[in-house]
Amino acid sequence: MIDTHTHLYSDQFDEDRTEMIQRALDKGVEKFFLPAIDSETHQKMLLLETEYPGKIFSMMGLHPCSVQPDSWENELQLVHNYLNQRDFVAIGEIGIDLYWDKSTLDIQVKAFEQQIDWAIEKDIPIVIHSRESFDETFEVLERKKHPKLRGIFHCFSGNLEQAKQAIDLQFVLGIGGVVTFKNGKIDQFLNQIPLDKIVLETDSPYLAPVPFRGKRNESSYVELVAGKLVDIYGREFAEIDRITTENANKIFSTLE
């Protein structure tokens, strides 16, 4: 299994990070992909990557919630500097979040578009954070359409039509704990989405799957997400594991 989206550097893991990662490795999680947030966590994230070579991979990007009027341009410049210093598996997580703050929409769009341009230039995928902003996100993606523009809709929670729209734009769906929620709704139509358009994620320490909902999430719980897909698709666990792992390796170009 591969956890395509996990904040292993989060302060919530400071007491037991090594043990938590080991639990995931013991469950069969082969690789962990770490989305960037902003400059406050870059160093912690990159250090973790050096401690687990070939297992932990960093993205680089500016999270939409960190796009603030007084700092976003400086933060973007830091992202650009990093992208020019070394290779990253993706630019993420980037996008639009209208749940926390609608007033920054204009600059969120500018930051999103700039980072898309860098991803196209570098020919690497993007990982999209889209919360209460599907229409605005699709608007940007349609405007920026390009053969090299591709990636993952992280924590996909839209409807079937939006899922198909994302796939038409060369994106796959990041499926995490929400698929196990009774009110998550995506379990009702997911079997209409081809398995080769799905990747597993946890978004640890957030959005823990049932039966841990409301508690701290961790990467070993990706097994519970895969288990739910067994029910939804009516396939063997080994097949869900194999296909979603291949999908993730292909997107992030980390094939062995």
* CATH code of 44's domain: 3.20.20.140
Mean pLDDT within 119-128: 98
What helix, strand, coil percent values describe the chain, rounded to 5?
50, 15, 40
What confidence tier does 149 reach under pLDDT thresholds 50, 70, 90?
Answer: very high
pLDDT at 115 over 70: yes
How far is residue 33's CA from residue 47's CA, in Å, rounded to a whole number? Answer: 14
pLDDT at 251 over 90: yes
Q: How many Cα atoms occupy the beta-carbon half-sphere of 140 within 13 Å?
A: 24
Of all residues in the chain, what percent carry a pLDDT higher than 70?
99
pLDDT at 254 over 80: no
Give me the pLDDT at residue 209, please: 98
Q: Which domain holds residue 143?
A: 2-252
Task: Determine if the peptide bond prior to 205 is cis (ω within 30°).
Answer: yes
pLDDT at 255 over 70: no
pLDDT at 88 over 70: yes
Quote the pTM value: 0.97
What's the structural domain count of the chain? Answer: 1
Q: Which of 81, 42, 39 is nearest to 58 (CA)?
A: 42
> Strands 91-97 and 56-58: what pairing?
unpaired
